[in-house]
Homo-oligomer: A and B are copies of this chain.
């Protein structure tokens, strides 16, 4: 079976490959990244994987690649997925989410390739949710309040049109915040973890941790649980369906900070940087993933303490 993975150099892809390498299913994998020769497949020597550098905004290059490889599965992880970044670069965020996806699936449509596609969406699509609607189920009205969220809703609407109108085989997720070892420090918990490790290793003169709004409550899922969900959806999800991927547990960023300080046994000073606070944001996001559980038997298995410990360990060896 041929598996195409976009965003192969990213955080989620690395964990997905880890997961796939432990499965019995044999895949011929083509990984797509933006930068030339940046893929390191030393870690995945038991996988049959090729790497190709393509700008997914280049429609001609995408078309050629799809026509040649003809995937049975497409895991589309490529994304500019930071909400904060999307406020600074709204257009770049939009095209590098919505348009790259459209370039891929439209070629699959034109070539009439039988391909199971996983379209990754985000809990950000729900936007500001009334507390009575928590934890959020898939039927909840979408109310995107950031450029990133708008791009994800657009992608999802496109997926539905291609499924219903062209009978394509697309499954969609609304993935809640994920985190785990190896995550880029532009994402909040990884940024905290890096700063805290620096403090604990006395690489910082002061004990200042720069933060944005730490009162917001989010539903964090360990990336290793997320990739298990993606694999399950690729192989067993129902066509045309949308699935929340969430832990069901809401936790504030301040509590996460506190937990990490406990693990490292350090004290810190919090420094709020207003630049990191977004024009409009959701105070509380908690997801309900009963659909994943009931239909596909997926539940998140890694505790938040283990996730945070692993993230801190990762930063200790990767500072």
Contacts and interface: CB of A to CB of B under 8 A. Distances in A.
B154 A150 contact: yes
Contacts of A279: 164-166
B146 A161 contact: yes
Given A90-B162, A91-B106, A94-B158, 11 more contacts: A59-B91, A87-B165, A90-B158, A95-B99, A98-B98, A141-B141, A145-B165, A146-B165, A147-B161, A150-B161, A165-B279
Interface residues of A, number: 29
Main secondary structure on chain A at its contact with chain B? helix
A144 B142 CA distance: 13
A102 B91 contact: yes
A164 B280 contact: yes
B145 A161 contact: yes
Interface string A158-184: 100110111000000000000000000
A221 B302 CA distance: 58
A109 B91 CA distance: 11
Contact of A158 (B145, B150, B162): B150
A166 B150 CA distance: 15
A165 to B, nearest CB: 4
15 contacts: A59-B91, A90-B158, A91-B106, A94-B102, A95-B99, A95-B102, A98-B154, A99-B99, A141-B141, A144-B161, A145-B165, A147-B161, A150-B154, A150-B158, A154-B154
Contact of A150 (B99, B141, B147, B157): B157
Interface in A111-170: 141, 144-147, 150, 153-154, 157-158, 161-162, 164-166
- Each complex incorporates copies of this chain amounting to 2
A102 to B, nearest CB: 5
A103 interface: yes
Nearest to A157: B150
Contacts of A161: 90, 144-147, 150
Interface string A254-282: 00000000000000000000000001100
Interface string A40-70: 0000000000000000000100000000000
Nearest to A94: B102
A164 B90 CA distance: 13
Contacts of A154: 98, 150, 153-154, 157
Q: Which of A94, A99, A150 has the most CB of B within 10 A?
A: A150
